[in-house]
Amino acid sequence: MAKTNAIGLTIADYKGAPTTLCQGCGHNSIISQIISAVFEENLPPESVVKFSGIGCSSKAPTYMLGRSFGFNGLHGRMPSLATGALFGDLSLIGIGMSGDGDSAAIGMGQFKHIIRRNMPLVYIVANNGVYGLTKGQFSPTSDRGLKLKKQGVNPFEPVDICMEALASNATFVARSFAGDPKQVKTLIKAAMHHRGTAILDIISPCVSFNNQPNATHSYEWGKKHEVILHDMQFLPNAKEIMLEGEMEPGEVREVTLHDGSAIVLKRVDRDYDPTDRFAAIRALEEAKQKHILLTGLLYIEPDRPALPDLYDLPTDVPFNRMPQERLRPSPDTMQTVNDLMF
Amino acid sequence: MSTQSPTSSGTVVNDFSITVGTVNGTGSQTSNLTILRAIFKMGIPVQGKNIFPSNIQGLPTWYTIRINKDGWLARREEHEIVIAMNPATVKEDMEKVVPGGALFYADHIKLPIERDDITTYPMPVKKLARQSGAPAKLRDYVANMVYVGVLAQMIGIDMDKIRAALDFHFKGKESPINLNMGVIEAAAEWAKENLEKKDPYILEPMDATKGYIMADGNTAAALGALYGGVQFVAWYPITPASSLVETMNQYIPKLRKDPKTGKNTVVVVQAEDELAASGMAIGAGWAGLRAMTSTSGAGISLMSEFFGLAYYAEVPIVVWDVQRGSPSTGLPTRTMQGDITQVAFISQGDTDSIMLFPRDAQEAFEFGWRAFDYAERLQAPVFVMSDLDIGQNQWMVKPFEYPDEPMDRGKILWEEDLEQWEKEGKVWGRYLDVDGDGIPYRTVIGNKHPKAAYFTRGTGHDEFARYSEDPEVWVRVLKRIKKKYETARHILPKPVLESAEGAPFGIISFGSTHPAIQEARHYLKEEKGIATDYLRLRAYPFADEVRDFIADHEKIYVVEMNRDGQMRQLLQLFVPDMADRLISVAKGDGLPLTARWIMNTILEMEEE
């Protein structure tokens, strides 16, 4: 018998349609980790809503969480769809699946503005540095000097998704690597519990168009150059935190999230404080200079108000189940309104 | 034509137009609204139209007030009284005055009087503004109150009614009311002592505005939406639609506190652009909220891709298009009915569209709430095609009426419905036409039934929302969607028919041209002996009554405010067999049509 989680569901209850992405595509690995994260967090699939834009990344929601509602929208417009939709029932968790073309080209505006509003959403950028679905053109995150078959050499500096997120005052910024599934899963879990927009820039190699060993979005380069900021653990219930053995100061950091869950970060090479924006920006700049793939939770600010907090909405019933008598003003107000006209 | 002929006493009572020429940004709007409202309070039918520049301060602006005892309130091209406050336009303002009319002008404007067929009244605007005791920074504003006072004295506007108008405008705040009233009274007193009445135009109190209110269409639309139970609004500022959501924000605390919890029941988000505004609203509509956006033509262009998605993915959303002069950035502060074909064929591929055409502020209120019922019933975008004239000008209309039907939330299945369907052995598919009306059943997020979820996409999909590139499936789904629009024809507001005995031709029109059409029909009948049948369209796709009307007439003039006769084009596609019966009477110069232009154009065509 298949293993069940705490709510009695098996992993099959979290699967989607069979993937039609290329074999070995990094996105498939991300899909698997999303499925595992939701399963392990014991969330009913109905409590998650999937959103995406256009591109290979945006096809991904079809291949996971078949029992979750999903909306595959327009190129670069996933954030606006998600913003409106999630107000329908604010108890649900939104997972937005985007790509480097989707978020850093046409979608740059919406990417930044959902961050600015801090709308709760797990915002994953499956970043492969290339347009896959249109067969291998440069994307905004392509390496400068990248050579592609029909395109020649890319003369432009790449957009750094995490730097853009930080510049927009994001409250959760992380980078990961599809070749590091454990870290991807931990970050997804933490992001699902973050009250605000959580940006996950996941380097996700495109095996068909941008996996040459010297490309910074390839498996080989990633495996050789990944440097983790910290060992990460997510604890859905902060009370469970048990630190193993003797710890030196700065050895372990703990970030408590809005709902009482916690992220535990264990030092690897250096002490890194993910609540220090300045440190995050410096870490990104250094990673660029040193040619490393620096992964982990770069920045978090758990307590900034999220967009729905600004509206003082009723919480006793989901907004999309609110009955007419609570939405239509009563008949006696009509005279008052007419009196307010001249 | 309305001749403004003097009575035996030599006066013209309650039948003339006043145009005020001022500089934009000097507060003249307060003065003009004060005149308008005071006349309304005197019981005299009145309408004001603002002809303003796309500018915050400094450019010329005009405000025309039409006073008509018979209730004809469309724009006129004649100006009996002109008030010239702007040195830059005084020459052309003087030329506007009809022979026998009156020109009031600020006496600091050095004006070579080139006309001996009009009466001219200088007004010591600067002097009186100085004497008002108003602080220097307010002097430009109170200067505009001088013409209110002088005009009041010379045509007979009741001072009590002026005070009532100021009281309304300043929400009862005594200090500005008294300051402005002081200037107005001083100016009236000055006029009484220094000016001799030589023109024939005067006001006399009537009882013809009882049972009416004055409201602008954007306010009416906002209120209509609030009574329609709107839950989510995303918008981006654009002239002339901005005041719609701004007004809504003012009324939300008054009207939309949850009776159970005292909390808010509307979310308004100012988006970063029209792309995001439409996206958020469509997301919300998809999630089962009553969602809307409001914009103008340029915004519609930006939102079009999303509307195509909403069309094909079948998402309810209400869109207010407060039309302005177009194409391109066009004439942002002028009115037009220029987005009709754009919206009818919105977005790429074969699409259909639902449009409602409100006539004035009152119908803007009604369509404000009904639009949500249509959108949710039909699971489609519903466009309410207002325009700047409706949206931003004050209309004398019957009071808003409370919705006479409960909300129609359309075909939504919740957990218990799905269970019931399962028990009955009924199969649910998101895009499956169960009832034969082309409208499938939908579920929305938060539905916890394990079979409730589906995947929404703008790519090809079958009846169960599964990805499909199958040619047969593609054609079948698009045909089924078309059927939904056939259903729409039968449930949308019917056109309004006014028929007359022995009419030689028909007139079709829609929206804000209504008052001018009615007035033109009146003159055609009274002065030319030509009775006319009139069909006022209220919705697209067209109802059967539209076909019947065209079939009943060999000749139909289609009157509208654009260059190409866009509504006529749609009608010709609707009745290709009778296309040659439809004659275009179209003008899109940014100004509301006048009855005289409509009548003359039709008469010229009749002679041909």
Number of domains in chain B: 4
Single-letter residue type at B569: Q
Q: Percentage of chain B with pLDDT > 70?
A: 99
Confidence of residue B296 (pLDDT cuts 50, 70, 90): very high
Does residue B391 sit in the same domain as residue B517? no
Q: Do A85 and B283 touch (CB under 8 A)?
A: yes
For residue B1, the model assigns a pLDDT of 41
Instruction: Tell which A residues from 122 to 151 touch B, by Cβ distance under 8 Å.
Output: none
Work out the minimum CA distance from A78 to partner chain B, whole angstroms. 8
Q: Do B458 and A72 touch (CB under 8 A)?
A: yes
Within 8 A of A307 by CB-CB distance, chain B residues are 269
Confidence of residue B141 (pLDDT cuts 50, 70, 90): confident
Q: Do B445 and A89 touch (CB under 8 A)?
A: yes
Q: Does A83 touch chain B (CB under 8 A)?
A: yes
How far is residue A210's CA from residue A154's CA, in Å, rounded to a whole number? 13
**Intra-chain end-to-end CA distance of chain B, in Å:** 21
Q: Do A110 and B279 touch (CB under 8 A)?
A: yes
Q: Does B302 touch chain A (CB under 8 A)?
A: no
Q: Which of B143, B168, B202 is the last residue of a domain?
A: B202
Token digits for B358?
């409100």
Does residue B372 sit in the same domain as residue B422? no
pLDDT, tens digit, 9 for 90 and up, residues B37-67: 999 999 999 999 998 888 888 899 999 999 9
pLDDT, tens digit, 9 for 90 and up, residues B144-196: 999 999 999 999 999 999 999 999 999 999 999 999 999 999 999 999 999 99
Angle between helices B274-286 and A78-86 (to 10 degrees): 40
pLDDT, tens digit, 9 for 90 and up, residues A260-284: 999 999 999 889 999 999 999 999 9
Q: Percentage of chain B with pLDDT > 90?
A: 92
Tell me: pLDDT of B4 over 90.
no
Task: Please report, for the domain that includes residue B516, its CATH number.
Answer: 3.40.50.920
Within 8 A of B255 by CB-CB distance, chain A residues are 329, 333, 337
Within 8 A of A320 by CB-CB distance, chain B residues are 287-289, 444-446
The answer to the question of residue B209 being in a domain is: no
Mark residue A260 as left, alpha or beta (left: phi above 0; alpha: psi -120 to 50; beta: remaining).
left
The CB density around residue B152, as the number of other CB atoms within 10 Å, is 24
Range of the domain at B163: 12-202
Q: Do A45 and B453 touch (CB under 8 A)?
A: yes
For residue B2, the model assigns a pLDDT of 44
Within 8 A of B263 by CB-CB distance, chain A residues are 312-314
Q: Percentage of chain A with pLDDT > 70?
A: 96
Does residue B98 sit in the same domain as residue B148? yes
Nearest partner of B250 among B212, B218, B291, B282, judged by Cα: B218
Mean pLDDT for A285-310 is: 97
How far is residue B112's CA from residue B91's CA, in Å, rounded to a whole number? 9
How far is residue B448's CA from residue A312's CA, in Å, rounded to a whole number? 25
The answer to the question of residue B131 being in a domain is: yes
Mark residue B14 as left, alpha or beta (left: phi above 0; alpha: psi -120 to 50; beta: remaining).
left
Q: Is it true that domain A11-309 has CATH number 3.40.47.10?
A: no
Q: Does B264 touch chain A (CB under 8 A)?
A: yes
Q: Do B275 and A77 touch (CB under 8 A)?
A: yes
Does residue B194 sit in the same domain as residue B219? no
Tell me: pLDDT of B200 over 70.
yes
For residue B26, the model assigns a pLDDT of 83
The answer to the question of residue B488 being in a domain is: no
How far is residue A219's CA from residue B2's CA, in Å, rounded to a whole number? 83
Cα–Cα distances in angstroms (integers) from residue A240 to residues A4, A20, A37, A243, A262, in the given order: 22, 40, 18, 10, 9
Q: Which of B160, B181, B202 is the last residue of a domain?
A: B202
Q: Which residues contact A303 (CB under 8 A, 6 or more apart)?
A: A258
Strand order in the sheet with B60-68: B46-51, B60-68, B15-23, B79-84, B97-106, B119-123
Q: What are phi and psi of B15, to 5 degrees?
A: -155, 75
pLDDT, tens digit, 9 for 90 and up, residues B537-583: 999 999 999 999 999 999 999 999 999 999 999 999 999 999 999 99
The answer to the question of residue B220 being in a domain is: yes
Dihedral sign (CA B359, B365, B370, B371): positive
Task: Please report, for the domain that includes residue B197, its CATH number.
Answer: 3.40.920.10
Instruction: Tell which A residues from 323 to 342 touch B, by Cβ distance under 8 Å.
Output: 324-331, 333-334, 336-338, 341-342
For residue A245, the model assigns a pLDDT of 56
Q: Do A312 and B403 touch (CB under 8 A)?
A: no
- B274 to chain A: closest CA residue: A80
Burial class (CB within 10 angstroms; exposed 0-12, middle 13-18, buried 19+) of B416: exposed
For residue B8, the model assigns a pLDDT of 64
Within 8 A of B289 by CB-CB distance, chain A residues are 84, 87-88, 319-320
Q: Which of B397, B428, B447 is the last residue of a domain?
A: B397
Nearest partner of B105 among B277, B116, B91, judged by Cα: B91
Q: What is the mean pLDDT of chain B?
A: 96
Q: How many CB pairs under 8 A join A and B?
A: 215
Q: Do B283 and A331 touch (CB under 8 A)?
A: no
The answer to the question of residue B405 being in a domain is: no
Does residue B475 sit in the same domain as residue B552? no
pLDDT, tens digit, 9 for 90 and up, residues B494-521: 999 999 999 999 999 999 999 999 999 9
- Counts for chain B of helices (H) and strands (E), in that order: 19, 24
Confidence of residue A22 (pLDDT cuts 50, 70, 90): very high
Tell me: pLDDT of A242 over 90.
no
Within 8 A of B458 by CB-CB distance, chain A residues are 72-74
Mean pLDDT for A174-190 is: 98
Q: Does A91 touch chain B (CB under 8 A)?
A: yes
For residue A238, the model assigns a pLDDT of 63
Does residue B390 sit in the same domain as residue B501? no
Q: Does B219 touch chain A (CB under 8 A)?
A: yes
Q: Does B37 touch chain A (CB under 8 A)?
A: yes
What residues does A232 pair with on adjacent strands? A265
Instruction: Report the complex ipTM.
Output: 0.97
The answer to the question of residue B484 being in a domain is: no
Token digits for B503?
């009419």
Q: Do B445 and A61 touch (CB under 8 A)?
A: no
The answer to the question of residue B120 being in a domain is: yes
Tell me: pLDDT of B77 over 70.
yes
The CB density around residue A145, as the number of other CB atoms within 10 Å, is 11
Token digits for A74?
């327009």
Q: Does B265 touch chain A (CB under 8 A)?
A: yes
Tell me: pLDDT of A178 over 60.
yes
Bond preceding residue A45 cis, omega within 30 of 0? no
Within 8 A of B444 by CB-CB distance, chain A residues are 69, 88, 320
Within 8 A of A341 by CB-CB distance, chain B residues are 213-215, 219, 399-400
Tell me: pLDDT of A49 over 70.
yes
Half-sphere exposure of B125 (CA within 13 A, CB side): 25
Residue among B229, B275, B459 whose CB faces A328 most closely: B229
Confidence of residue B608 (pLDDT cuts 50, 70, 90): confident
Mean pLDDT for B275-280 is: 98
- A88 to chain B: closest CA residue: B287
